[in-house]
Amino acid sequence: MARVLLTGAYGQVGKELEVCLLNSEDEVISCDHRALDISQEDRVLSAVTESGADIIINAAAYTNVEKAEDERVKAYEVNAYGPKYLAKAAKLADIPLIHISTDYVFSSENGRPHREDDTVEAQCVYGKSKLEGEENIIACCSKYLIVRSSWIFGRYGNNFVKTMLRLAGKYDAVSVVSDQKGNPTPARALAEALCIMTHEALKPDFKDYGIYHFAGNPAITWDEFARSVFKYAKLAGFIQKDMVVKSILAKDYPSKAVRPYDSRLDTNKINEVFKIDLPDWHDYLPETVGEFFDEQNN
Question: Which residues are part of the catalytic machinery?
Answer: 126
21 and 195 in contact (C-beta within 8 Å)? Answer: yes
Asked if the bond preceding 218 is cis, omega within 30° of 0, the reply is: yes
Contact indicator for 80, 132 with CB cutoff of 8 Å: yes
> Which amino acid appears at position 150 of this protein?
S
* Spatial CB neighbours of 66, under 8 Å, sequence gap ≥ 6: 255, 256, 257
**Orientation of helix 285-297 relative to helix 160-168, angle to 10°:** 50
Which residues does 256 contact at the CB level (< 8 Å), separation at least 6?
66, 69, 70
